[in-house]
């Protein structure tokens, strides 16, 4: 049974009872799948210490899974959100991340780009470049660059995964074997200091690993809702990540740990 202890609000708002606050937390997690600790604290107007206590209580009842940087629904480790769900989430943050990541690309570069709505936004910023070679397994990325005559786009082979509009499988992995490019720009569903980048499905992870292996440097694009979150399949360990481009809502404790592991941080300001 969820308790009913209340927190006194310092700004004069009425006290929020724990049951009410925890119900709101559950609603947020159910609506978004994964929510960071900072985001939850802001949404329920409580301290992160209080929200951590709430998360422990909700986890003990089997209502959610608690992680270092926030919370997910039970089973979220293996849930793959589709494109139509993700495209409207954190759009301002994704645009800011895309702007910042584009500064890591120069004319004449050869790069690989993985699937995702954030990498799609990033690809849209590359149309001004010339003599740019892009290898991708993402139909969204290819579409974003299709009208640019100065960017050469090469699609991998593979089997279409309709939920994320990307090509996956052994054919996709083989098509990038032997390539060497300057940088790989990859997203994912979770990023933690302990396990690095992760995704819910093995076939997606396999292609992401192949893209990363083709690059001299790996750049991860992840908005704050993914930082501190783990999903089932590790894609790239933290020591394999050279750059992280995220937004200012990402939990500072996770960013500090990643920086301590040698990851170069690029924080997009909204």
Across the chain, the runs of DSSP E, i.e. the strands, are: 6-7, 16-17, 34-36, 65-67, 70-72, 110-113, 132-136, 151-155, 159-161, 166-168, 181-186, 190-192, 196-199, 215-221, 233-236, 243-247, 264-268
pLDDT at 238 over 60: yes
H-helix or E-strand spanning residue 81: none
Task: Judge contact between 109 and 132, C-beta under 8 A.
Answer: yes
- Please give the Cα distance from 138 to 167 (Å, whole number): 6
Phi and psi angles of residue 93, each rounded to the nearest 5 degrees, phi first: -65, -40
pLDDT tens for 83-92 read 444 444 458 8
Neighbours of 150 (CB within 10 A): 13
Q: Give the pLDDT confidence score for residue 68 in this predicted structure.
A: 65
Q: Give the pLDDT confidence score for residue 17 in this predicted structure.
A: 81
Class of domain 6-74: mainly alpha
pLDDT tens for 99-150 read 999 999 999 999 999 999 999 999 999 999 999 999 999 999 999 999 999 9
- Please give the Cα distance from 64 to 116 (Å, whole number): 25
Cα three-residue angle 83-43-196, rounded to 5 degrees: 50
**Where along the chain do its domains lie?**
6-74, 83-268
Task: Judge contact between 186 and 220, C-beta under 8 A.
Answer: yes
- Please give the Cα distance from 85 to 131 (Å, whole number): 34
Class of domain 83-268: alpha beta
Q: Give the pLDDT confidence score for residue 76 in this predicted structure.
A: 54
- Please give the Cα distance from 63 to 21 (Å, whole number): 14
When mean pLDDT is compared over 12-16, 175-179, 231-235, the highest value belongs to 175-179
pLDDT tens for 34-87 read 787 888 888 899 998 999 899 988 888 888 888 767 788 776 554 555 444 444
């Amino acid at each position: 049974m969820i308790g009913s202890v209340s927190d006194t609000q310092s700004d004069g708002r009425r006290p929020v009872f724990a049951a009410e606050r925890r119900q709101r937390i559950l609603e947020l997690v159910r609506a978004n799948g994964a929510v960071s600790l900072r985001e939850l604290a802001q949404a329920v107007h409580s301290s992160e210490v209080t929200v951590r206590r709430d998360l422990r209580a909700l986890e003990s009842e089997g209502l959610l899974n608690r992680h270092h940087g926030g919370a997910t629904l039970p089973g979220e480790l293996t849930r793959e959100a589709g494109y139509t769900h993700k495209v409207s989430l954190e759009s301002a943050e994704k645009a800011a991340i895309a702007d910042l990541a584009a500064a890591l690309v120069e004319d004449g570069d050869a790069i690989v780009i993985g699937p995702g709505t954030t990498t799609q936004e990033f690809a849209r910023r590359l149309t001004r470049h010339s003599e740019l070679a892009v290898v991708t397994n993402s139909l969204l990325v290819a579409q974003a660059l299709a009208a640019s005559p100065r960017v050469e786009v090469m699609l991998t082979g593979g089997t279409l995964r309709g939920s994320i509009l990307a090509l996956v499988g052994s054919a996709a992995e083989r098509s990038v074997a032997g390539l060497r490019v300057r940088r790989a720009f990859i997203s994912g569903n979770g990023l933690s200091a302990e396990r690095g980048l992760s995704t819910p499905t093995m076939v997606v992870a396999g292609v992401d690993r192949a893209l990363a292996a083709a690059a001299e440097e790996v750049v991860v694009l992840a908005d704050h809702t993914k930082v501190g979150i783990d999903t089932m399949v590790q894609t790239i360990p933290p020591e394999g990540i050279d750059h992280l481009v995220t937004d200012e809502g990402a939990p500072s404790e996770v960013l500090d740990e990643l920086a301590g592991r040698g990851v170069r941080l690029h924080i997009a300001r909204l």
